[in-house]
Amino acid sequence: MDLLFEHIVPRDLALVEATLLSRGFALALASSCPALAGARGVDYASEGDAVERVTWFRAMPDSLGELFVLLPAITWIERVRWSREAHSGRFEVAPELPLPMARRVRCEGTYSLEPAADGTTLRRVEIALSIRAPLVARAAEQRLAGMLRTIFDTEAALLAQGIE
């Protein structure tokens, strides 16, 4: 399943990018997003124009519905590699599942910021999401897509207001 989320953020690109790349952004996102129960920074490195951020996330138990009820928790590690020069990056999401299940899930994509009209910023997220599971794959992908929509809508609102 290919997903595209675009938002016009009513702030200058430099401010949006600084907010997005701030060390506290993932924690602010988790505390604001109804689909997330928590987050913690695992690693953060910045050298030249490159930033790499690794974050652990936990979903709210009821955010994905009955298809995921047998899992003790829905958690994942997100690794983002960002270029300040290109105003874009790539990300990979690794679900914390038993290895046979984890191999069946793929979630990765690109993230970009572009200057838009009147000092605003176009934020574009393109995601490739696939789950290989008999009978439930499509329904599981749709549930995850809904959760991702909630996360990225919340993220856009945070980028618009900035974080302290």
Q: Rounded to two decimals, what is the model's pTM? A: 0.89
- With contact defined as beta carbons under 8 Å apart, do 35 and 59 qualify? yes
Instruction: Take residue 67 and report the two structure tokens written for it.
Output: 């298809």
pLDDT at 60: 85
Backbone angles phi, psi at 121, to 5 degrees: -130, 135
pLDDT at 108: 97
CA distances from 69 to 3, 34, 63 (A): 24, 18, 10
CB atoms within 10 A of CB 75: 17
Per-residue confidence in pLDDT tens, the chain, 164 aa: 999 999 999 999 999 999 999 999 999 999 999 999 999 999 999 999 999 999 999 988 776 555 555 555 688 999 999 999 999 999 999 998 778 888 888 999 999 999 999 999 999 999 999 988 877 778 888 888 999 999 999 999 999 998 86
CB atoms within 10 A of CB 44: 15
Domain covering 2-161: architecture: 2-Layer Sandwich (3.30)
- With contact defined as beta carbons under 8 Å apart, do 39 and 52 qualify? no
> How are strands ordered across the β-sheet holding 88-95?
2-9, 121-131, 105-115, 88-95, 75-83, 50-59, 36-47
pLDDT at 164: 66
55/91 Cα distance (integer angstroms): 11
Instruction: Take residue 108 and report the two structure tokens written for it.
Output: 């990765």
pLDDT at 131: 86
- With contact defined as beta carbons under 8 Å apart, do 149 and 5 qualify? yes
74/68 Cα distance (integer angstroms): 8
pLDDT at 103: 87
CA distances from 87 to 28, 58, 103, 122, 138 (A): 21, 27, 30, 11, 33
pLDDT at 64: 59
